[in-house]
């Protein structure tokens, strides 16, 4: 069998929405390639899509190390719910202490500051930063009994997570109301995707794009009918007699 080798430069410009194929042309080209699988395409491009600045992910992608690496390596801000700030006892935790990572200064809940800090390596090999308060600073503190690890002479210290700065950054970011609203929009889309995959939209049952599209349209139609049925049921239970708005 013969193979057609197609060599292309600036593929991104060819696929461009305004001056190139656009989405409709891309769809036709994809159908052609899949319908006649004797193509081999070698292409170069500077970009296939516009620059991505923010990605909204779920908690599975919310790890501090992953967030930091994505931002450093690609310049993309990965937004997802941060680790929960839970408190099981009335004891103070490291989250109650303010940390200035630029000047490496920590402030305790009683207002005592320290720049006595260093790095330690745990059994897992991860490097963690600690801050230390001398006993003279902690003497007479009303929060002493609730404070963190107590050292000899009444001193105290806190041990931070290896990704403490990123964790605190993500929690501060998550407190932004505009960001939370944008994430709610993502959640709505995720529910729709879940409904599609739940009713068989994860895998095509037949070969060919036409069959796959027909399957997707059928699943979407069923889900739309379910939404309409629930709305009608709620309307009737409420005793409404007016026509439902479109």
DSSP string, the chain: ---EEEEES-HHHHH-TTTS-HHHHHHHHHHHHHHS--EEEEE--S-SSPPP-EEE--GGG--HHHHHHHHHHH--EEE-PPPP---SSSS--GGGSEEETTTTEEE-TTS-EE--EEEEE-TTS-EEEEEEE-HHHHTT-TTGGG-S-B-GGG-EEEE--TTHHHHHHHHHHHT-HHHHHHHHHHHHHHHHHHHHIIIIITS-SSSSHHHHHHHHHHHHHHHHHHHHHHHHHHHHHTT--SPPP-
Q: CA-to-CA distance for 44 and 167, rounded, in angstroms? A: 38
What is the structure's pLDDT at 118? 93
pLDDT given at position 140: 85
Check residue 240 and give its pLDDT.
53
Task: Check residue 86 and give its pLDDT.
Answer: 72
> What pTM does this model have?
0.58
pLDDT digit string, tens, across residues 74-113: 888 888 888 777 767 788 888 899 999 999 999 999 999 9
> What is the DSSP code (8-state) at residue 150?
B
Q: Locate tokens 């001193």: which residue?
A: 155
pLDDT for the residue numbered 50: 63
> What would the pLDDT profile of 167-197 be if each residue is shown by its tens digit?
999 888 888 888 888 888 787 777 778 888 8
Low pLDDT (below 50) residues in the chain: 241-246
């Amino acid at each position: 069998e013969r193979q057609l080798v197609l060599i292309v430069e600036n593929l991104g410009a060819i696929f461009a929405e305004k001056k190139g194929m656009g989405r409709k042309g891309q769809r036709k080209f994809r159908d052609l390639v899949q319908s006649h699988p004797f193509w081999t395409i070698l292409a170069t491009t500077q970009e296939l899509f516009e620059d991505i600045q923010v990605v909204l992910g779920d908690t599975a992608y919310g790890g501090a190390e992953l967030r930091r690496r994505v931002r450093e390596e690609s310049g993309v801000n990965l937004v997802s719910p941060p680790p929960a700030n839970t408190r099981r006892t009335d004891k103070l935790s490291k989250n109650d202490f303010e940390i200035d990572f630029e000047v490496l200064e920590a402030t305790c809940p009683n207002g005592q500051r320290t720049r006595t800090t260093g790095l330690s390596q745990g059994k897992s090999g991860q490097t963690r930063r600690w801050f230390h308060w001398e006993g003279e600073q902690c003497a007479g503190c009303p929060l002493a009994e609730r404070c963190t690890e107590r050292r000899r002479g009444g001193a105290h210290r806190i041990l931070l997570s290896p990704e403490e700065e990123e964790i605190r950054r993500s929690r501060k970011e998550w407190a932004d109301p505009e960001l939370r609203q944008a994430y709610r929009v993502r959640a709505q889309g995720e529910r729709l995707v879940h409904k599609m995959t739940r009713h068989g939209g994860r895998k095509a049952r037949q070969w060919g794009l036409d069959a796959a599209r027909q399957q997707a349209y059928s699943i979407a139609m069923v889900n739309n009918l379910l939404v309409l049925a629930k709305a009608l049921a709620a309307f009737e239970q409420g005793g409404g007699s007016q026509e439902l708005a479109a």
